[in-house]
Amino acid sequence: MSDEDNNYDDFMLSDDEGMESIEMEEETDDEAEQIVQLNEDKSRDDQDRGGRQHKQHVRGTFEKDDKVEDICEKLFEQGKTLKEDERYKEARDSFLKVYYTEEFSSDGGIERLMAWKFKSLNEILRLRALQLYFQKSGAQDLALQVLEDTATMSVFLQRINFQIDGSIFELLSDTFEVLAPKWERVFLFDIEKVDKENMICKMEFQKNFMDQFQWILKKSGKDYKLQNLQRKIKKKMFIAVVWHRRLTTGDVFIPEISSQIQNIVQDNEYASFEENNDLESVSMLLQYSILEFMKTARINNRRLFKKCIDFFEMMISKSLTFSQESGLMVVLNTSKAVRILDSDSENDLSFALMKYYDRKEELKNMFLYILKHLEEMGKLRERDITSFFHKFVLSGFIFTSMILEAISSDKINPFGFEQVKIALGSPIVKVLEAVYKCFERLELRQLNANISLIPELSMVLNGIIQDIYYLAQTLKLWRRIARLYSCISINDIISMLQISDDNQMTRDDLLTILMRSIMKDRSVVYFKLDLTNDLVYFGDENKVMLPRCSKEEFRLTISPKNEESAEKARLIDFEYVNDVAIYNNPTRIRTKSSKDFFNTLRKSRETVKLPRVNNQSNEDTFLPSYMKFSNKYLELTKLASNNLI
């Protein structure tokens, strides 16, 4: 056969062979389509960051005969190690592998696997807490990632319906504390120097974070762990709402908040106050009450306020850790200072037995403690002193020091304290220095003018400011006027003691100062009043007894000449003549406290019951012949003899 025939035979194929060739080409096209499909599936798998990828990775990493629980444990420990090394991304991936582990249905195994999944999600939530609260750049993106993980946790908990071991409540509660921490270094009543933008973002995150678990509040049950978790969710949500409103609008005194703030502290008759409450809740109510005082100069619910202070103080005294938390100590001491100021303004009976200067001493110590703790927190820098709270504390400390220094032999300059020296360059301290110098020199009008330079404190420190004015007037009266004049008119004294044209001193005000000075043994110079001519006589030369003529004139005006006046005089008349020293020489009090003596004398006299003669009351008749036989008479006699010389 020729070559052409061979080529022709090669070219010309049989029908069967042709069909086979076509089928092979079709198969080749199908393989190409399969490759394309595989590539598309692979692309979708690459985009999918879900569970299938993690399942394959788990299967490829560990031996097939390993138990799933062992795999979870190894992955979990690996994640914790990476977390400690601050390799947060790798740690999160490791925990996610636990969460996406395939669920199996062996008896008891599913519950253990769910426990591992919960722990892994819990660790993921806690993973970036430190970054979230200390990182400023990119914090918003990080917060969104945490909220996505929070949503995953919330859905998981709803799916399992808390059907894990009892530790789930404690672990979840601890996670809430990590991601919605206690705000112990910022105060509701002092936000002027707070980084508001950053703080608002944190409060928005806290609100959104806790909002993911609102469904837990709808669960019913008597499990105290569940109830505690529900209470914590409510508390964290409410704190975020209050803080957000305080930072954005400044006003938290609206009905919605005012009605709920009382409920943040559990106070009922079925359980003790200590069992129902924690420091965070009580601290929030105390801060709200302090802010309320700063705005209105009064506390509405004093009973609950005092109860919270007592609880706060008790908890701190029991814990060395709490006592070293400067933020908690600032809240406690500010609360105690506010309570004293509020009680002074309302004449609270709970402080009635506490002496005036003892209260001022305690108040001064409270202000000093606050300054010390603010210094420890680094909040006594010059730029911080411009806030209202810092002005309040510094002014309170200086003002109370001035009052106490006026009656003390120890002269301690309040500006010598280290906490005040730090702020010497600030405007408020310069004003306080001027106030202090005017008080020392008893320059009353200049004193008022300098105090007027801090008008924002005129309401919250009004009681102390009025005490300073009164004390300055009293000191000027006895140290300057009484020693210089032997006789002066009441109007002239009033003019010298005038604080300002807007704050006019009255005649009664001056007489009150004079009378109180006698009662409190502070009248340095002996004086007598001539109220007919409105004159005041100063000096020992005025210590002259009334002549006999005056005594006889009084005796003759109240009874016939042939009768003894002492027997027929009414009790009120007899007391009057004794007061003006007609029958007895004047005496002075020997006891340390004249107030105690007069209070005891008043109580004793109020209980005197005069005897009845001929079935008639003798309340208007002084009967010494009957009184000398009564125990009350002997009691009064002994009291007078022991206390008067």
Task: State the pLDDT at residue 8.
Answer: 41
User: Looking at the structure, do residues 549 and 537 belong to the same domain, yes or no?
Assistant: no
Q: Which residues contact 149 (CB under 8 A, 6 or more apart)?
A: 121, 124, 125
506, part of any domain: yes
User: Would you place residue 552 in the very low, low, confident or very high pLDDT band (cuts 50, 70, 90)?
Assistant: low
- Which of 509, 466, 476, 503 minimizes the C-alpha distance to 491? 509
Shared domain for 567 and 516, answered yes or no, is no
- State how far the Cα of 189 lies from the Cα of 352, in Å rounded to an integer: 29
DSSP-derived pairing of the beta strands 535-538 and 487-489: antiparallel
645 vs 11: which has the higher pLDDT: 645
Same domain, 432 and 503: yes
- Record the tokens describing residue 550, joined without a space: 């005056």
> 440 with 462, same domain?
yes
Mean pLDDT, range 145-159, rounded to an integer? 92
pLDDT of 452 strictly over 80 = yes
Q: Assess whether 470 and 560 both reside in one domain.
A: no
In a domain, 565, yes or no: yes
Domain match, 517 and 428 both: yes
Sign, CA torsion 250/255/261/264? negative
Question: Do 444 and 537 lie in a common domain?
Answer: yes
Are 415 and 460 part of one and the same domain?
yes
Q: What is the mean pLDDT of residues 135-156?
A: 85
Kindly state the helix (H) or strand (E) to which residue 72 belongs, with its residue range. helix 68-84
In a domain, 445, yes or no: yes
Taking only the tens place, the pLDDT of each residue in 19-47 is: 444 344 444 445 444 544 544 454 445 44
Per-residue pLDDT, 639 = 66
Q: Please, which pLDDT band fits residue 510 given cuts at 50, 70 and 90? A: very high
Per-residue pLDDT for 284 more than 90? yes
In the predicted structure, residue 352 carries a pLDDT above the cut 60: no
pTM value surpassing 0.85:
no
Q: Are strands 527-530 and 535-538 parallel, antiparallel or unpaired?
A: antiparallel
Q: Closest by alpha carbon to 408, among 352, 477, 475, 363?
A: 475
Q: Could you tell me the CA-to-CA distances from 64 to 60, 67, 71, 304, 635 in Å, in that order?
A: 9, 8, 10, 64, 101
Identify whether residues 430 and 493 lie together within a single domain: yes
Same-domain check for residues 631 and 563 = no
Residue 190 lies in a domain: no
Number of domains in the chain: 3
Which of 541, 567, 602 marks a domain boundary? 541
The CATH number assigned to the domain holding 472 equals 1.25.40.570
Q: Please report whether residue 280 resides in a domain.
A: no
Identify the domain boundary among 541, 572, 605.
541
pLDDT mean across residues, the chain: 78
Residues 571 and 629 both lie in one domain? no
Q: Does pLDDT of 629 surpass 50?
A: no
Band (366; pLDDT cuts 50, 70, 90):
very high
Q: Is residue 368 one of the residues assigned to a domain?
A: no
pLDDT above 70: percentage of residues in the chain: 68
Domain that holds residue 436: 407-541
Residues 580 and 635 grouped into a single domain = no
Q: In terms of pLDDT, which residue wins out, 463 or 601?
A: 463
Smallest CA-to-CA distance from 204 within 295, 124, 132 is with 132
395 falls within a domain: no
The span from the CA of 229 to the CA of 220, in Å, is: 12
Cα–Cα distance between 371 and 377 in angstroms, integer? 10
529 is a domain residue: yes
φ, ψ for residue 452, nearest 5 deg: -70, -15
